[in-house]
Structure 1
Amino acid sequence: MEHSNRMKPVKKGRIGLYTIGLAAYWSQFPGLRERLTNYGEFLKKRMSEYGDVFYYGLVDTEAEGRRAGEWFNAQNVDLIFCHSATYSTSSTVLPIHQLCSAPVVILNLQPAARIHYELTTTGEWLAHCGACPVPEIANAFSRAGISFRVINGLLGLEQTPSISVTNEETKDRWEAKRAWQHIEEWIQAAAVRRTLRHSRFGFLGNTYSGMLDMYSDFAMIQAEIGLHVEMLEMCDLDRMLREVTEAEVKKIRMDIEDMFAISGDSPSDPIAKKPTDEQLEWSCRVAAAQEKLVRHYDLDALTYYYHGASGNPYEKLQAGFIVGHSLLTAKGIPCAGEGDLKTAIAMKICDSLGIGGSYSEIVVVDYEDETILLGHDGPFHMAISEGKPILRGMGLYHGKQGTGVSVEAKVKKGPVTTVNLTQTGEGKLKMIFSEGESTNGPTMKIGNTQTPVKFRQHPDEYMERWFMEAPTHHCALAIGHHARLLQKVAQLMSIKQVTL
């Protein structure tokens, strides 16, 4: 998935890596130490394709473990991989993670699929016994209250080291590919965690009155996720509007004509009309102001809603929101309507992973096709659109004030994942994931985004399970099946998660 001129880059995860061993081995088995650190260098090189990797090297004593823990703290790492290369005492490993609180994943990656039984010496065997200390380390971590994960499999080398007596070319074996898929996902998850912890989310206006599921505890969100919420007023945006130039309006108009199809009148809905030139010009002017607002306050995402007295100037201003917020979403600044901060976070998670994340809710069930239509009255993530999104003029925004231009679109046909972020009765965040298939089923021509999704369960069964998880009624709709990856994101942020 590509963005058009992403305004802010996704941060890379800072990844710690070290290799473990037993100091007593090095004088007993010449070449073993160098062999194991070479495996570690291979891991560093491969991991560097996905994040910024800080390789400490070999940790083979308790004292070295303490030095490594302090070093990882100095590198400000988001995640640490413990490369279990051979046997090591758990007392060597535990101090690292008592000193550095970054989450830890143990790598039990054997160099060869099978040792050469006839030729293998004790020194050769020790280069392949990385699984041996893992239960001991797991026990020590558990007793110390340190959370951990383990990846088992093959190392995935492209060629066999000269010191080896067996075949270590395992890059094409499924056990290596699976292990590296998990490694890549953990590094991606670390990047999301770092991106969120350095993010500024704008909250413009207020939450739609009475939508209790969307009310957010900003202190709780900063405590659990680390992002900052910047409270904004409509007068802030109005100030930006006054600074918009005609050249900026013209540039936005060119972007709109390039990225959208302009509709005629809806054949079915009398309030959905061809956008007028006046409506399009106003949407362009507001969009230019919205981009100024994002740049001025250095925002990474935005949630918004305004419902003031009828006929006031801000009512007209908010009527032009949807097009501009869709443009911002396409540029890596996800925007969620109705003041839904939690769904804006879910959208930012998806966008950071490069899988989209369009603002959605249940629209209607199609019992003939056994699909559920997911969508909203905007905004939309255009990078995951099936064809060009359509702009329609709206005679009114249902349940809201004002008139303007709305986006009608559907997500690409194929696998999709819904990402829901909700708040529990205990005041903690929870994530809910679902995988399904976007179909080519029919949609309405009413100026809303709509995507027919077929989940693994019948719609009634799916909705029953989803409703019982007490979700926020909005979700982020992403392309691809990514529940496993998103589970890692939740785990790194210590957020409870459920996959339906």
Structure 2
Amino acid sequence: MSLFDPIKPIKTPRVGLYSVGHEHYWNQFDGLLDRLLGYNRFIAQQIGTHGEVCNAGMIDSESGARAAAEKFNAANVDIIFCHAATYAMSASHISIARHCQRPVVVLNLQPTAAMNYAKTTTGEWLAHCVGCCVPEISNAFNRSGIDFHIVSGLLGLTETPKISLADECTSNHPEAIAAWEEIHAWVKASAAVRTLREGRMGFLGHTYPGMLDMYSDFTMMGAGTGMHIEVMEMCDLDRLAQSVTVAETREKLEQVHEMFVISEDSPADPLARKPKPEQLDIACRVAVAQEKLVRDFDLDALTYYYRGREGNAYEQLQESLILGNSLLTAQGIPCSGEGDMKTAVAMKICDILEAGGSYTEIVSSDYNHGTIILGHDGPFHIAISDQKPILRGMGLYHGKWGTGVSVEATVQKGPVTLLNLTQTGEGRLRFIGNEGIAIDAPILKIGNTMTHVRFDRGPSQMMNDWFALAPTHHGALAVGHLSELFHKVATLMDIEWCSVSHGEAIEDSTVASRDILSLGTAELHES
């Protein structure tokens, strides 16, 4: 579900592609080169549905490899796919990886599920012996210090070439489907990396004082993600807020009614009330100013916090930011509170991958349901809501100054992944992922986002395993089991990846025994 067009589009990844073969074969076996180039064009077409392809064709010589490397560098590709079309000497193409300094994925895609053994000739076999050179490629890359990954499976053609003696229609074969899912995942991960690398992070105000896990080294964040960090002052927002017209505020209020259910008073919490008209008015006016701020500074994500003298103009601005943050997050500009830049990056990655990415933290555990409740006072990503979020008036923001409106919502039921970006004691960035199942269970009616998530072990063990990896106390909640995809993003960014999940989350809502749910300890996977 998406109510708003993105303010800035996701960057299209640029993919380098080349096929490898043995030059001596072309004169020995008529039609073999054209056949393999046909496979190459098919791969380019398939990848082209998710990225911009720079195709160097067949590489069968060292000189051709150098020319391909120059072509890829000129195109500024994000990732390179090496298609093992038949046997090829590693020396004939290794200079591509050496000169481009980009991650390489070797495609070991056999055209047929099985050869026609009774009729296959040597030339026919050479079109199918794609796995023959992959060990050599792996060995040469490893010894040369080249980052490489391998996808094996079937090519997935929809029709058999006339020259072939075997059935090459494998598009519906599970090995072809799985291979292309992984290939497309690499391309999507490349889109996330390029969008971050060319993106601009807005930092408004400062980090919440005393939250040591929230503090970020701006130089390290820029080096690790590639993002430019634009430091802004509250006066930048104040200047824009003063320029907002009544018509602009009214239009924003229409968006609010489209996106939210306006609450009545909470039946439980006297602090959570039906939003007052003046609360909505100022929140909408500030939301207009926030969008202008994003457009003026060309931002891709935003994090903020302000603590000043009680009752001053800037405090009134910051207490109204939650609504605008949710609206911006719905428009592809993830916003995080408390100056948590690391979580804003995690949210941006989730958004690029079309998986949501709502700002969240551990709210509480429910040992009867065997869940951990994840949520926050906003912002919330409308794309992953199970229904229209509720907008509540708040008598106060706990732990902060001021009053205003806040978001109450739950994430869609089903598979979810919690993504955390933290910093280690060595100063390095680290991604942590944990897959679970969002279930239907009661939440509090206090104007906060809350979702019950069951992981593959009980709440106590999950928290022990999660905390042992030194996460920040916030994270981004995304829909789908996405650990493998997030791992690819981390790999391409050269950032350590840790996965807490090592099994399917238990879905039986009647199972709550810690002894049953405690399935093991966290496993550390370094990219």
Q: Secondary structure at the match of 1:426?
A: coil
Give the match for residue 186 of structure 1. 186
Give the match for residue 81 of structure 1. 81
Q: Which runs of 4+ in 1 moved over 2 A?
A: none
Q: Secondary structure at the match of 2:497?
A: strand
- The answer to whether the aligner puts 1:420 opposite 2:420 as a matched pair is yes
Deviation (angstroms), 1:256: 0.6
Deviation (angstroms), 1:2: 3.2
How big is each residue's C-alpha offset from its partner over 1:218-268, in whole Å with a ceiling of 9 and x where there is no partner? 111111110011001000000000111111100001111111111111111
For these two proteins, the number of residue pairs brought into alignment is 500
Give the match for residue 121 of structure 1. 121
Contact 1:207 1:339 in 2 (8 A): yes
The code of the aligned residue for 1:317 comes to L
Instruction: Map residues 90-239 of structure 1 onto 2, 5 A cutoff.
Output: 90-239=90-239
Contact 1:346 1:357 in 2 (8 A): yes
- The answer to whether the aligner puts 1:325 opposite 2:325 as a matched pair is yes
Give the match for residue 257 of structure 1. 257
Give the match for residue 378 of structure 2. 378
How big is each residue's C-alpha offset from its partner over 1:8-60, in whole Å with a ceiling of 9 and x where there is no partner? 11011101100100111100011000000000000011111111111110000
How big is each residue's C-alpha offset from its partner over 1:320-347, in whole Å with a ceiling of 9 and x where there is no partner? 1000110000000000000000000000
Structure 1 alignment gaps of length 5 or more? none
Q: Which moved more, 1:189-198 or 1:1-10?
A: 1-10
Q: Which moved more, 1:101-110 or 1:309-318?
A: 309-318
The code of the aligned residue for 1:261 comes to V
TM-score, normalised via structure 1 length: 0.99
Contact 1:3 1:332 in 2 (8 A): no
Alpha-carbon distance in 2 for matches of 1:405, 1:2: 22
Deviation (angstroms), 1:499: 1.1
Instruction: Map residues 294-305 of structure 1 onto 2, 5 A cutoff.
Output: 294-305=294-305
Q: Secondary structure at the match of 1:152?
A: strand
Q: Secondary structure at the match of 1:212?
A: coil
Alpha-carbon distance in 2 for matches of 1:446, 1:370: 22
Q: Secondary structure at the match of 2:55?
A: strand
Deviation (angstroms), 1:176: 0.3
How big is each residue's C-alpha offset from its partner over 1:61-91, in whole Å with a ceiling of 9 and x where there is no partner? 1111111111110111000000000000010
Give the match for residue 430 of structure 2. 430
Alpha-carbon distance in 2 for matches of 1:68, 1:316: 57
Alpha-carbon distance in 2 for matches of 1:252, 1:211: 33
Give the match for residue 69 of structure 2. 69
How big is each residue's C-alpha offset from its partner over 1:325-384, in whole Å with a ceiling of 9 and x where there is no partner? 100000000000000000000000000000000000000000000111100111111111
Alpha-carbon distance in 2 for matches of 1:398, 1:260: 22
Q: Secondary structure at the match of 2:132?
A: coil
TM-score, normalised via structure 2 length: 0.94
> CA 1:276–1:3 in 2, change beyond 3 Å: closer, same or farther?
closer
- The answer to whether the aligner puts 1:489 opposite 2:489 as a matched pair is yes
Alpha-carbon distance in 1 for matches of 2:21, 2:2: 43
The code of the aligned residue for 2:224 comes to E
Alpha-carbon distance in 2 for matches of 1:381, 1:432: 20
Deviation (angstroms), 1:386: 1.5
Deviation (angstroms), 1:136: 0.7
Q: Secondary structure at the match of 1:87?
A: coil
- The answer to whether the aligner puts 1:60 opposite 2:69 as a matched pair is no
Give the match for residue 35 of structure 1. 35
How big is each residue's C-alpha offset from its partner over 1:374-406, in whole Å with a ceiling of 9 and x where there is no partner? 001111111111111111111100000000011
Give the match for residue 362 of structure 2. 362
Q: Percent identity?
A: 58
> CA 1:305–1:224 in 2, change beyond 3 Å: closer, same or farther?
same
How big is each residue's C-alpha offset from its partner over 1:189-227, in whole Å with a ceiling of 9 and x where there is no partner? 000010001100100000011111110011111111100
The code of the aligned residue for 2:231 comes to M
Alpha-carbon distance in 1 for matches of 2:178, 2:382: 31
Structure 2 alignment gaps of length 5 or more? 501-527
The code of the aligned residue for 2:172 comes to D
Give the match for residue 336 of structure 2. 336
Alpha-carbon distance in 2 for matches of 1:91, 1:173: 33
Contact 1:93 1:137 in 2 (8 A): no
> CA 1:95–1:88 in 2, change beyond 3 Å: closer, same or farther?
same
